[in-house]
Amino acid sequence: MKILYVVGGLPFGGIENLLFDIARELSKRNIDYRIINISGTGEKTEEFFRANLPVVNLGNSKKILKTYRLPTAIKLRYFIKQYKPDIIHSMQFSADYFSRIATISIKDIKIITHIHTIKKEKRIERRIFNKLLSFKTDVFLSVSKDVFKVVEKEHNLARKQHYILYNAINTKAFDTETSLNLQKGIKYIACVGRLVKQKNFDVAIKAFSLIEKNHPDTRLLIVGDGGMNKKLQQLTKDLNIYDKVIFAGYRKDVPGILKKSYMLLMPSEYEGFGIAHLEAMYAGLPAIISPFVPSKEIASECSIIAPIDPQQIAYYIEKLLTDEVLYKELSLKAKEIAKNFTIEEYVNKLLTLYSSLILNKPIENLIL
């Protein structure tokens, strides 16, 4: 079995972290695979190389990801014909697009289009491409039921096989400690993710500002980087809580940080399936999440679902800080659920899917 993973780039993010863990697990099992980074860009690219993972950079600029760049499809097609994979597994729009364009008229390759977000494409041409290229897809994978619904409406015009595969975590990452200086006796309220509008970290900051005076032993810990960094830091100054909010930046030791945190806030406008939430669960952290976080499908028993509203979120933060019985109940349930979503089991399911595709035997269960 030869597998080719295709991504548009390797920035820091949930998809890239998941692919990194998949790749390391496949390497342990001596599976023949390659990873194509179409643009050749992304902060995590070097991390893949340092781990000796078989990444091939097709280009060196995001410009080659433009849909009209036919040379990009030709270059990818050349690599595919040389490598001769049995399976092409693509993630991210540009990878989904070029993988299917590049394999037109090539036979005996099964194509998996893996969708990680409920976000709908705004550009009409991309929405058209998604629908038409479904005829070149053998299987759609969605990371949640919410994503599944979007894919059926926005992608799967050809009514191809479609399964749900929830994300997973590398539990061994919890064996190491963080190098971030976190004080004992402080309850860290963590937000993890890219600093972009959809994450609503500004709402989290406003909510924290409403409770911090009554809880001097708390800090808001924001782990991640992105375009809203300066705006968010300015907001903490405007609210006079700058000294109680920690901007940790992009970190590779998130599991270690979560082990020393008290709870997770995820007031996102939309998500696919937040790996950070799953990591927090494994660390025993209750979470306050928005109704638009699909990980609620597996985590409703260990999470509080709150509207994207500072007052409401502040109320539930206060609840978790003061109600020890509720906190322990959610914490124990979080650990119990998270144990079912390890990267080892995830790769087992992937390999089962790959084998079934090669043998042309559909899987009966909707949820892998």
More reliable by pLDDT, 283 or 367: 283
Angle between helices 93-102 and 70-83 (to 10 degrees): 70
For 307-366, give the DSSP string.
-S-HHHHHHHHHHHHH-HHHHHHHHHHHHHHHTT-BHHHHHHHHHHHHHHHHTT---S-S
Average pLDDT (216-223) is 97
For the chain, the structural domain boundaries read 2-168+342-358, 172-338
Q: What is the pLDDT of residue 71?
A: 95
Provide the b/e sequence for 96-106 (b: ≥16 CB within 10 Å).
bbbbbbbbeee
User: Of 3.40.50.1980, 3.20.20.70, 3.40.50.2000, 3.40.50.720, which CATH number belongs to 172-338?
Assistant: 3.40.50.2000
Q: What digits encode the pLDDT tens for the residues 93-146? A: 999 999 999 999 998 999 999 999 888 888 899 999 999 999 999 999 999 999
Q: What is the pLDDT of residue 294?
A: 87
Domains 2-168+342-358 and 172-338 share a fold: yes
pLDDT exceeds cutoff 80 at 364: yes
For the purposes of burial, counting CB atoms within 10 Å of the CB of 210, is it exposed (0-12), middle (13-18) or buried (19 or more)? middle
Cα separation of 29 and 133, whole Å?
32
Class of the domain covering 2-168+342-358: alpha beta
Q: What digits encode the pLDDT tens for the residues 335-361? A: 999 999 999 999 999 999 999 999 999
